[in-house]
Amino acid sequence: MPATQNDAPARTIAPSTPTVANGQSGDPSRADGPTVRLLSPTGDFTPSAAADEYLPYLDRLSEADYRRFYRDMVVVRAFDTEAANLQRQGQLALWVPSHGQEAAQVGSAYATRPQDHVFPSYREHVVGMIRGLDVVDILRMLRGVTLGGWKPEDHGNFHLYTLVLAAQTLHSTGYAMGMQLDGSTGTGNPETDQAVIVYYGDGASSQGDANEALVFAASYQTPQVFFMQNNHWAISVPVSRQSRSPLYLRASGFGMPGVQVDGNDVLASFAVTAKAMDDARAGLGPSLIEALTYRVGAHTTADDPTKYRDPEQLAYWVARDPIERFRAYLRGRGIEQEFLDSVDEEAKDFASDTRRRALEIVGPEASVIFSNVYAEPHPLITEQEAWLRRYEASFEEGQK
Amino acid sequence: MTPTSTASVASAHLPMTKALNGGLRQAMLNDPKVILMGEDIGPLGGVFRVTEGLIKEFGDKRVLDTPLAESGIIGTAIGLAMRGFRPVCEIQFDGFVFPGFDQITSQLARMRNRHEGGLIMPVVIRIPYGGHIGSIEHHQESPEAYFAHTPGLRVVSPSNPHDAYWMMQQAIASNDPVIFFEPKSRYWPKGEVVYAESGIDLHSSRVVRTGSDVTVVGHGAMVSVLLQAADIAATEGITLEVIDLRSISPIDFGPILASVEKTGRLVVAQEAAGFVSVGSEIAATVAERAYYSLEAPVLRVSGFDTPFPPAAVETHFLPSPDRVLEAVDRALAY
């Protein structure tokens, strides 16, 4: 399978397990491998052997859910493309594409309940959308008018993006510890019991914070799911440099269940996360999900993947596109073309509406520099704010 | 919020460790959201016994012996604060705070700002610090300037048991993160703790001895060194006005400026390295605001700009009363 081989030296550490030897995450297409997969790359419903225990979770999905999954994936990709364009045109400071990771994100997001808390990294735009965030709030941050941009409590408990890799894993674990301490989880009532899902990636998995979060989560048995999107690249560094073994196997070392899912299969991503979140709410402790996916675009608009990536590898993953796959599946189920067309239309409208609203974003006043540095009065801040006001007013007086 | 005490006696003669313990206990009694986190703080009561007995009284849901990971302690405390708790984290020794540095400076300090005021971060990080205890590497350092340099944090250091008792409660009641530096060498000397009142604001500096010739300023363990220096100076007919800084961020410059207006001379003492230090900030600010009162340049007495040395030579490194008086003499020579 040369297409998923990364460019690390092929030093064999375990000849008997060739998919492990190169730090590879395995072939998600293999029906007999460890990967939970429900849909084949061509959209056939052919569950892998590892998928058995997750099949019942599909019973929760209605026809409307299937349509919503598809709609959200298509809409966020159009949004993503438009946002990248905005950056190229100087309207955003930076853009962080999610192209290729839509299924992992949509599937996992729909496995959360309203009372759950979501700690994203910084690429989970559609997770925010599903939790009720206006994506223009994300653009405000990337346009440089705010460092945060939304109130989690008003947007489905979707917490702020965190730009220091893996820092949010610890915040999420602490938050989940708090749920335990205030008795909001594990009571046996799935309608009210809470849990946390935290998103991070293969690159962040090397950070100390990610590992410390797993230690704390296991020690305190937090109601928490670690959802790791292995998109195979940390900017220019392949996953083989982050790990010599499949990342989901790390879970057992921390003392929690770990599962590898085909992250380009929206149904499998949903089912695996639904079980993990159910278990977390029920008091069965934390678990780790490794979603195998691919960062089809650049890391950010400041990156150029053609300098370090094998086009063959990209082609391999583009052929496993999550949207194409799910569309083929829906077609097989007899979905009407009219629906698919209407989603394309909606996505186009969404993107152009986003562009219009992004251009209307108004910057804050300079006084925002001093707001909320502290909760309580601080003499230095008060003094400096007053000074800046006087200083800037002195120019206005001069013009009169 | 001014904490009030439920202690049944008016005052007690205690070492700082017991005063801190009493302050923690009182804060936990006042507010069920106050929880303690750290390494060895449960049945052992912390390596300095500051949390002794608290797990017995409040249980292991409020006194959390954590895994041995400082970033983990601070990072999860942030999550707990987001959830409405008021965590008090113990870092075992000064030199061990650095594994948690990112979580303190990039996360804890900025969380409220990033949330545009949508939340508070009432986290206290207790750090036993400073030398004079003859210990090994990473156990005698004074890293307060790093934290004072970080917007969003408040940094304080008590010098005596009474302040320790009250400042701990005030720090916990603060809705901002507070880095609470506990001077290890002052853990054991006893002092009077008065339970009736909190005294003064957490961020006030205080004149602890009046004098008219030279103002000397310091915090934490340095205050007792300054008082010793003042005793010696008095035998030579020189009176030092000693100011206990108490708060390192923000610094309450009022009493310092008022004193310099009177004495015209200022010596700032600290165990930390002098380059880009708390003392540098005081010197610069006093030069800006009390220029016409100064009869001499502001002088700093600091640890040297080296790693904290092997304990065998720490007395050569740490500012002593004599080193303070050497600077006092230089200031008076102008």
Longest dimension (CA), chain B: 60
* Selected residue of A374, A383, A385 to mutate for chain B interface (largest B Cβ count, 10 A): A374
Q: How far is CA A203 from CA A137, A234, A242, A321, in A?
A: 25, 5, 6, 22
- Residue B115 falls in the annotated catalytic set: no
Q: How far apart are CA B109 and CA A161, in angstroms?
A: 16
Q: Say what the pLDDT of residue A6 is.
A: 43
Residue A169 lies inside a defined structural domain of this protein: yes
Tell me: the pLDDT tens digits for A366-375?
A: 999 999 999 9
Segment holding B190, helix H or strand E: strand B190-194
How close is the nearest chain A Cα to the Cα of B101, in Å? 12
* Selected residue of A160, A209, A212 to mutate for chain B interface (largest B Cβ count, 10 A): A212
Q: What's B206-332's CATH class?
A: alpha beta
B78 touches chain A (CB under 8 A): yes
Instruction: Please name the member of A167, A176, A378 whose beta carbon is closest to the beta carbon of B107.
Output: A167
Pair (A387, A304) in one structural domain:
no
Pair (A40, A138) in one structural domain:
yes
Cβ pair B114:A178 closer than 8 A: no
Contacts of A311 (CB under 8 A, 6+ apart): none
Cβ pair B152:A376 closer than 8 A: no
Residue A160 lies inside a defined structural domain of this protein: yes
Residue A12 lies inside a defined structural domain of this protein: no
Pair (A372, A352) in one structural domain:
no
Residue A303 lies inside a defined structural domain of this protein: yes
Q: Which residues of A touch B252 (CB under 8 A)?
A: 379
Cβ pair B76:A160 closer than 8 A: no
Q: How far apart are CA B108 and CA A247, in angstroms?
A: 29
Positions of chain B with pLDDT under 50: 1
How close is the nearest chain A Cα to the Cα of B261, in Å? 21
Q: How far apart are CA A55 and CA B23, in angstroms?
A: 55
Q: How far apart are CA B274 and CA A229, in angstroms?
A: 46
Residue A4 lies inside a defined structural domain of this protein: no
Pair (A91, A204) in one structural domain:
yes
Q: Which residues of B touch A179 (CB under 8 A)?
A: 83
Give the ipTM of the model, two decimals please. 0.96
The residue ranges of every structural domain in chain B are: 11-194, 206-332
Segment holding B192, helix H or strand E: strand B190-194
Pair (A133, A34) in one structural domain:
yes
| Domains held by chain A: number | 2
Over chain A, what HEC string results?
Answer: CHHHCCCCCCCCCCCCCHHHHCCCCCCCCCCCCCCECCECCCCCECCCHHHHHHHHHHHHCCHHHHHHHHHHHHHHHHHHHHHHHHHHCCCCCCCCCCCCCHHHHHHHHCCCCCCCEEECCCCCHHHHHHHCCCHHHHHHHHCCCCCCCCCHHHCCCECCCCCCCCHHHHHHHHHHHHHHHCCCCCCCCCCCCCCEEEEEECCHHHCHHHHHHHHHHHHHCCCEEEEEEECCEECCEEHHHHCCCCHHHHHHHHCCCEEEEECCCHHHHHHHHHHHHHHHHCCCCCEEEEEECCCCCCCCCCCCHHHCCCHHHHHHHHCCCHHHHHHHHHHHCCCCHHHHHHHHHHHHHHHHHHHHHHHCCCCCCHHHHCCCCCCCCCHHHHHHHHHHHHHHHHHHHHHC
Segment holding B181, helix H or strand E: strand B178-183
B47 touches chain A (CB under 8 A): no
Structure tokens belonging to residue B193: 């703790």
Handedness of CA B109, B114, B115, B116 (dihedral sign): positive
Q: How far is CA A71 from CA A108, A111, A130, A322, in A?
A: 15, 16, 11, 12
Pair (A271, A158) in one structural domain:
yes
Tell me: the pLDDT tens digits for A338-368?
A: 999 999 999 999 999 999 999 999 999 999 9
Same fold yes or no, B11-194 and B206-332:
yes
B205 touches chain A (CB under 8 A): no
* Selected residue of B35, B68, B114, B288 to mutate for chain A interface (largest A Cβ count, 10 A): B114
Q: Which residues of B touch A148 (CB under 8 A)?
A: 114-116, 118
Q: Say what the pLDDT of residue A7 is.
A: 43
Nearest to B217 by CA among B169, B143, B275, B157: B157
Q: What is the CATH number of the domain that holds A226?
A: 3.40.50.970
**Segment-wise mean pLDDT, segments of 10 residues, chain A, 400 residues:** 40 34 48 88 95 97 98 98 95 95 98 98 98 96 93 97 97 98 97 98 97 98 98 94 95 98 98 98 98 92 90 94 98 97 98 96 94 96 97 80
Q: Say what the pLDDT of residue B3 is.
A: 58
Pair (A264, A374) in one structural domain:
no
> Domain range spanning residue A379?
368-399
Pair (A207, A324) in one structural domain:
yes
Half-sphere exposure of B56 (CA within 13 A, CB side): 6
A to B CB pairs, distance under 8 Å? 134
Tell me: the pLDDT tens digits for A237-246?
A: 999 999 999 9
Q: Provide the residue type at A381 as one letter.
A: I
Residue A96 lies inside a defined structural domain of this protein: yes
Cβ pair A215:B67 closer than 8 A: yes
Pair (A236, A163) in one structural domain:
yes
Pair (A277, A376) in one structural domain:
no
Instruction: Please name the member of A153, A167, A379 whose beta carbon is closest to the beta carbon of B75.
Output: A167
Q: Which residues of B touch A178 (CB under 8 A)?
A: 79-80, 82-85
Residue A52 lies inside a defined structural domain of this protein: yes
* CATH entry 3.40.50.970 includes domain B11-194: yes
Residue A7 lies inside a defined structural domain of this protein: no
Instruction: Please name the member of B77, B83, B99 whose beta carbon is closest to the beta carbon of A179.
Output: B83
Point out the catalytic residue in the list B132, B139, B203, B219. B139
Pair (A185, A251) in one structural domain:
yes
Pair (A308, A393) in one structural domain:
no
